[in-house]
Chain A
Amino acid sequence: MKSDKLFKIVLLLFGVLILAFSVGIFLQLFSGAWKSIQQNGILFLIKQVWDPNQEIYGALPFLVGTLVTALLSVIFSLPLSIGSSLFLNEYIKGGWSVIISSMIDLLASIPSVVYGLWGLFVLVPYIRIVENWLFQNARLIPLFNSEPYGVGILSATVILLIMILPYSISVIKEVLKMVPNDIKEAGYALGANKWEVLQKIVLPYIKSGIFAGVGLSLGRALGETMAVTMVIGNRNALPASLFDPANTLASVIANEFYEASSTLHVSSLIYLALVLFVFSFLINFMMRLILKRINAGMIRK
């Protein structure tokens, strides 16, 4: 049928267009970063010094800052998002569930800059109290070994945690709804209580959903700029502990791009953008592979 073929072509066109955007962005970033790539090569990723005055550039501090804050926030979000989703789906009924879900969705619509301001003026003083306590009492643990400023990796992680919760909660909630009732009832029939059914039957069933939620959250956490830059302390050096100020790829680009005047400086900042782009792509790709494996495993069962 002619309209069928037309439909197919139009859809193909849209797909190709989106692909073209991604490839286009990559090529543009690559050409912008070319000067820095020539100068620094792939070793850029492990060079530690970022000094625009001396024209020495290295991405390691920002790579570490980005990965640490993103991964920590995602790891801490797991129990919170799984817990809230289970609570919303299994433990409260109807109206309340809808109200609370809407409030969680509201969290996702708060602008990043507002999170940053709130973080700086409300969250950071509390974090500083926690950091001071840990510094006094648990200083021997290397993670808590630096002078507590309040702003730093810990504050950035907590802010990211709050920002990514709505994404993983919404994905996990949807997957929970799709768990067939009969396997749950089979569990109850065998004498399991509610907690055992959830822990041993439902959670393993939605493994892929949890993973997808994690992937989505990680993607958001890696790229978050404004909120992070306001509470991370903006220090272009490797953090040695949770309390140290640091910097992320997105944050340093936001801070320095406007004023960078030397071509090598601009090119190095674009190189950082390229690194972020490639890293996000790789992490997403890996997530999809693992997801595929999990799903294949489920089908075999």
Chain B
Amino acid sequence: MLDDVKPLVSIDNLRVEFQGEDGPIVGVEDVSFSIAPGETVCVVGESGSGKSVTSLSLMRLVEFGGGKITGGKLEFASAGGVIDVAHADDDTMRAIRGNEIGMIFQEPMTSLNPVFTVERQMTDGLRMHLGLSAEAASARALELLKQVRIPEPERRLKQYPHELSGGMRQRVVIAMAMACEPRLLIADEPTTALDVTIQAEILSLINRLKRETGMAVLFITHDMAVVAQVADRVVVMCRGNLVEEGAVEEIFENPKQDYTRALLAAVPRLGEMRGKPAPEPMRLIGDDAAAPAPVLPDKPEPLLEVSNLTTRYPVKGGLFRRTVANVHAVEDVSFTINKGETLALVGESGCGKSSCGRSILRLSEPTSGAVQLDKRDIIGLGERDLRRAWRDMQMVFQDPFASLNPYMRLRDQVAEPLRNFDLARGSEVEDRVAGLFDRVHLPRSFMSRFPHELSGGQRQRVAIARALAVRPKLIIADEAVSALDVSVQAQVLNLMMELQAELGISFLFISHDMAVVERVSHRVGVMYRGRLVEIGTRAQVFENAQHSYTKSLMSAVPIADPTRRTIGEEMNFRPIPSPLFPLGHEPDPSEYTEVAPGHLVLKNTVS
């Protein structure tokens, strides 16, 4: 067949503009690439690179977001011949959307309508595009659910979106996108909002569907590890332009452009720390002076001791809003952090890792257990003493856009703790704040700015400076780098390691990202359903995982290396059961087996 060599999609000199208040803003400047039938092309880039705008242009959906295709051609080889999407009329577009091009979005919760059953949402499209009868459409919907391997498909049809887990919801969305057997599937960050095990399931599902149906996939993502796992070809974008294009192995092994090289250098790869005794800063391109690596003090000295910490949130219900059940967020967790050490808590959403961090600071009040910082009890402290205790432990939050007061100058926000704890007075305050800005590598001119004038990474530096102001012994970093672009993430991680090396601060590093955790931590604790299921040194947990949950978590992590594809044919992980328990339920205490010195594994079966 001669047609085989013809591309399915060919994008030529695409230019997209958005109407801004002061004239047009260019979303995509000049991008050209093509997609062959049956091929997976990954478009990768950081926020603002124009990768989503490019994919939305292919469906002409940019117009709904106020954008306009102002130049170039978007040729799509539909069943009826080649169509230029950039200039097609609305009827043609309606016939293509959802029919010849399917699309799946980032947020599986918002791309399904909460008031319709799964059956209703699926059959609507089938009846419209394919003209099926109600029965035929239902039968086809069931067939599609089986194709995406949803357990108990008959029952799912009658359910509403909120009754399904995040992974199942994304499967339904994929089933809907597959309904008309599209020639091209556009997946815009389809796994970004999902846990790593569910991400692995969805990636393997997309891979299988692609092989079975022969459709092409345009995969948009910011995650180099995902790219390495699924792509045939890669398109790297930056600020509305195409930077580099090539086969996946070539991009990873022999990147030609500096930007691609810098991007790859910033991605931590699971397993690359094997055999190294201590955390190691990332080697960033253009940053010759390697940040100092944190070294542990010779004699381990415990700083934070958490024993049998339990936190439950009441669930209110009924006429009088009585407590009807409890969410067991943290269940009998014990660990120690030594001075100058980083302990990472990893786990999937809802495992209690954030609640654990908050309970230590008593931002959430623990139900029982003991927390000691430097031999001093934290749980029993009154309001006033607790405030004083915060001098020694500070928190850095996940969302840099929400953790700074939008109405306050940055200088004042960093100066607040200095004044409140009476650490500096008068002109000394200004000097200390300036010093802290130097410390986190921000220009002093930023001091009189407001938060909105900074980028996400810069804001996170300010948040770190604020936490550092009191010279704390412990910083709890709750997903502190998760919202940042990879290159910025690497810089912030290096900053944290540098601060540890120079100031001897201990970190409780809460994260869902195994590769990042492997980079920064001395010791690692894995959490599952509120329990610490395994804890040990980084090497023990990463190289000799014992608990079945740790193992399955590791197997699900995508590795940023196309020669090590771990996303298998069919990945199925057991869904995490609900942490909701009836009133008065007293679970067994956590008991551990010590498999090696300092390496503890939970004995109890927790499911």
Q: Do A and B come from one complex?
A: no
**Residues of A participating in the B interface, judged by any CB pair closer than 8 Å:** none
**Residues of B participating in the A interface, judged by any CB pair closer than 8 Å:** none
